[in-house]
């Protein structure tokens, strides 16, 4: 079609991993405007994005480019100003209550940079929280929490309080909590942002392992090109838009290619 928005054309041409074509979540024309008395910011501009089952997507972009805002829309923590969302191909009105709460409960696991564990609860109770909210039986909760503890290698620490754990251990617990209810999508906003290099590696390896073992669809916002090099696709954000995409070839050149692209993206170039 002549006159097609070049950005849309780019998005339509994004290569997606073969054999992973089952659509989990799709957004079309997502806009988010923060209208404050002193200023007006358009944090998202006409974002189109499809997430496929089992893929790991990394999002990189300069500070303030809209990455967290997008995750907040995808998780229905906040509502877009306009745009459509489709869950497993069905148009879904997830940004109003009670649908938003139900959608979050059934489809979303969220991991934050600062872990956000409940300080007064031990590891088991923190992980159990989404299942309690789901109304599962005591027996089911115990089974699922044990399984999640095992998946993140934290069985030995089940009775510890968050304050008795290292940052990496706390993030393992937060990942277990995000996955325990078997969400359709795990969203992680800079999950390694508070961790040192070795711990970043541990958490990254854990996420990659969970992505493989559970076929867990994941979206990871990161400032770290090394983290992004483990994803299937890397989306580059600038000024509220996805302005570039890189499909990792899973070889030793990925890191350099991501860094190279990011250099242009940081300047707003494609």
Binding site for Mg ion (CB under 5 A): 68
Residue 163 site contact among Mg ion, ligand ATP, none (CB < 5 to 8 Å, cut-off depends on kind) = none
Nearer to ligand ATP, 182 or 223 (CB): 223
Q: What is residue 138's three-state secondary structure? A: helix
Please, which residue, 66 or 183, has the CB nearer to ligand ATP? 66
The nearer residue to ligand ATP, 29 or 64, going by C-beta atoms, is: 64
According to DSSP, the residues that pair with 241 across neighbouring strands are 238
Catalogue the E-assigned strands of 12-89. 23-35, 40-52, 56-61, 82-87
Residue 58 forms beta bridges with which residues? 220, 234
- Supply the minimum distance, in Å, between the C-beta of residue 176 and ligand ATP: 24
Burial class of residue 107 in the structure, from the number of CB atoms within 10 Å of its CB (0-12 exposed, 13-18 middle, 19+ buried): buried
Provide the token pair at 136: 């599962």
Interface positions, 11-50, toward ligand ATP (CB under 6 A): 34, 36, 41, 43
Check binding of 217 to ligand ATP (CB under 6 A). Answer: no
Q: Are 183 and 210 in contact (CB under 8 A)?
A: no
Give the DSSP letter of residue 44: E
Shortest CB 179 distance to ligand ATP, Å: 23
Dump the DSSP string for 160-227: --GGGS-HHHHHHHHHHHHHTT--SEEEEESTTTTS-HHHHHHHHHHHHHHHHHH--EEEEE-S-HHH
Q: Which of residues 47-66 bind ligand ATP (CB under 6 A)?
A: 61, 63-66
Which one of 27, 46, 49, 69 is in contact with ligand ATP (CB under 6 A)?
A: 69
Residue 192 binding ligand ATP, by CB under 6 A:
no
Judged by CB under 6 A, the residue of 68, 171, 211, 216 near ligand ATP is: 68
Q: Least distance from C-beta 221 to ligand ATP, angstroms?
A: 7
67 binds ligand ATP (CB under 6 A): yes
The reply on whether position 238 binds ligand ATP by CB under 6 A is no
Nearer to ligand ATP, 34 or 88 (CB): 34
Nearest distance in Å: CB 240, ligand ATP: 7
Instruction: Report the b/e string of 57-71 with b at 16+ CB within 10 A.
Output: bbbbbbeebbbbbbb
The binding site for ligand ATP (CB under 6 A) comprises: 34, 36, 41, 43, 61, 63-69
């Amino acid at each position: 079609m002549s006159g097609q928005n070049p950005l849309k054309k780019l998005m339509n041409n994004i290569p997606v991993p073969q054999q992973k074509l089952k659509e989990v979540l799709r957004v079309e024309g997502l806009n988010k405007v923060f209208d404050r008395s002193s200023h007006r910011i358009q944090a998202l501009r006409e974002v189109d994005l499809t997430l496929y089952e089992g893929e790991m997507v990394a999002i990189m972009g300069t500070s303030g480019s809209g990455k967290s805002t997008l995750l907040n829309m995808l998780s229905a923590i906040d509502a877009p100003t306009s745009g459509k969302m489709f869950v497993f191909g069905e148009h879904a009105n997830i940004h109003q209550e009670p649908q938003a709460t139900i959608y979050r409960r059934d489809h979303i696991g969220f991991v934050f940079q600062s872990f956000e564990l409940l300080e007064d609860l031990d590891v088991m109770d923190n992980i159990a929280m989404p299942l309690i909210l789901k109304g599962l039986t005591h027996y089911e909760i115990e089974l699922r929490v044990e399984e999640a503890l095992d998946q993140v290698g934290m069985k030995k620490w089940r009775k510890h309080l968050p304050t008795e754990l290292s940052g990496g251990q706390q993030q393992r617990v937060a990942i277990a909590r995000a996955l325990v209810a078997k969400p359709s999508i795990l969203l992680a906003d800079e999950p390694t942002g508070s961790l040192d290099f070795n711990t970043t590696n541990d958490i990254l390896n854990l996420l990659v392992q969970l992505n493989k073992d559970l076929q867990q669809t994941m979206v990871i916002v990161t400032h770290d090109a090394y983290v992004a090099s483990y994803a299937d696709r890397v989306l580059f954000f600038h000024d509220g838009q996805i302005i570039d995409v890189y499909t990792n070839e899973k070889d030793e050149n990925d890191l350099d290619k991501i860094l190279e692209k990011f250099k242009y993206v940081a300047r707003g170039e494609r």
